[in-house]
Structure 1
Amino acid sequence: MIYAFDTYYYEDYANTVCIAFEDWTSENESEIFTEKTEITSDYESGAFYKRELPCILSLLKKIELKEGDVIIVDGYVTLDNDGKIGLGGYLYEDLDQKYPIIGIAKNEFASPDSQRRNVLRGESKTPLFLTAKGVDVDDILPKLEQMHGLYRMPTLLKKLDQMSRA
């Protein structure tokens, strides 16, 4: 199963959504998990994970992960060539490196990262930015390209983003 997470922040709470789907080409989700949580940390530039990681870990308590499952986060797993990690990297560590974590970001991070791949989908000239831990990023690249949907954002990830904002 593939579990994709996104969190949207309101004034006094965070809305975290997870869409579960069978495989990379799925058009529809198998299950949806949601949770509203208290915001435990202010936004801190360069330390986004401090705000979002507790939300994802809390929602993960409702999900029974199995061997072979994959997690997608809206953001980065690796940030640079010096080993700095992003939200997905911290999640990978918190889950004892048992599950591959895929980061799919909409905005480019400035530091060079040899593990980051730019992925163009549809006719978009603007790439998505792909990073990963626990799996070779080059193995995931074609899977992201093949995800359902004609546009830059795959269908299920667009739905996830919309649901987190609802």
Structure 2
Amino acid sequence: MIIAVDVYYEENRAKSVGVIFQRWEDSKPLEVITSYTETPHEYETGFFYKRELPCIQELLKLTDINQIHTLVVDGYVYLDNEQKPGLGHYVYTNYLGEIPVIGVAKNAFHNNEALVRKIYRGSSSKPLYITAVGMELGIAAEHIQSMYGEYRFPHLLKLLDKQTKEAWL
């Protein structure tokens, strides 16, 4: 199975959502899981992962991690051409490098061209920025390119974003 994860912050808590699906071309998720974290780590410039990783770890406790073969994060695996670790890399190392991680970002990051593949979906002239660890970058880009949906942002990732920002319980 594949899981795409995202975290949204509101005041002193975080909502983490995971969309689980079987194949890259799927139009519907198998399951959507949600967890809440009270008083997440404060944001530190350059250390985004410190805030996001604990929330993702809590979320992934709600699934059988042994059934997950790929994890997709909203953001970057590497932050620059020198392989400065981003959120995706920290998620990868947290799971002992056993689960490949694909980073999907909406915006370019400075000094980060060598480890990024731009893909264009639908009729959009704006690319998505794909990074990966644990699998070839070209294959990761092909997976995201093949995802269901006719727009720039794949349907299941758009659903993930919507679920993350929906009203909290």
Question: Which TM-score band (shorter chain)?
Answer: over 0.9
After TM superposition, give the deviation of residue 47 of structure 1 in Å: 1.4
Secondary structure at the residue paired with 1:66?
A: helix
User: Does the aligned pair in 2 maintain the 1:71–1:101 contact within 8 Å?
Assistant: yes
Instruction: Name the stretch that deviates more: 45-54 or 88-97.
Output: 45-54
User: Does the aligned pair in 2 maintain the 1:77–1:87 contact within 8 Å?
Assistant: yes
> Percent identity of the aligned residues?
42
**Counterparts of 1:18 and 1:83, CA distance in 2:** 26
- Considering only aligned residues, what root-mean-square deviation do their CA atoms show, in Å? 1.2
Q: Are residues 13 and 68 of structure 1, via their aligned partners in 2, closer, same or farther at CA, if it must alter by over 3 Å?
A: closer
Shift >4 Å, 4+ stretches: none
After TM superposition, give the deviation of residue 111 of structure 1 in Å: 1.6
Secondary structure at the residue paired with 2:66?
A: coil
Matches within 5 A, 1:8-157: 8-66=8-66, 69-157=69-157
Q: What residue ranges of structure 2 are gaps of 5+ in the alignment?
A: none
After TM superposition, give the deviation of residue 112 of structure 1 in Å: 2.5
User: Does the aligned pair in 1 maintain the 2:53–2:87 contact within 8 Å?
Assistant: yes
**Counterparts of 2:94 and 2:68, CA distance in 1:** 17
**Counterparts of 2:68 and 2:57, CA distance in 1:** 19
**Counterparts of 1:39 and 1:124, CA distance in 2:** 38
Q: Are residues 136 and 68 of structure 1, via their aligned partners in 2, closer, same or farther at CA, if it must alter by over 3 Å?
A: farther
| 2:124 aligned partner, one-letter code | S
After TM superposition, give the deviation of residue 113 of structure 1 in Å: 3.7
Cα deviation, 1:47-83, whole Å, max 9, x if unaligned, reads 1111111000111111112266100000001111212
Cα deviation, 1:88-140, whole Å, max 9, x if unaligned, reads 10011110000000100111111234121111100111111100000001012
Would you say how many aligned residue pairs link Structure 1 and Structure 2? 166
Q: TM-score, normalised by structure 1?
A: 0.96
User: Does the aligned pair in 1 maintain the 2:81–2:114 contact within 8 Å?
Assistant: yes
Secondary structure at the residue paired with 2:81?
A: coil
User: Does the aligned pair in 2 maintain the 1:53–1:91 contact within 8 Å?
Assistant: yes
**Counterparts of 1:55 and 1:86, CA distance in 2:** 15
**Counterparts of 1:144 and 1:119, CA distance in 2:** 8
Secondary structure at the residue paired with 2:75?
A: coil
User: Does the aligned pair in 2 maintain the 1:120–1:152 contact within 8 Å?
Assistant: yes
| 2:126 aligned partner, one-letter code | T
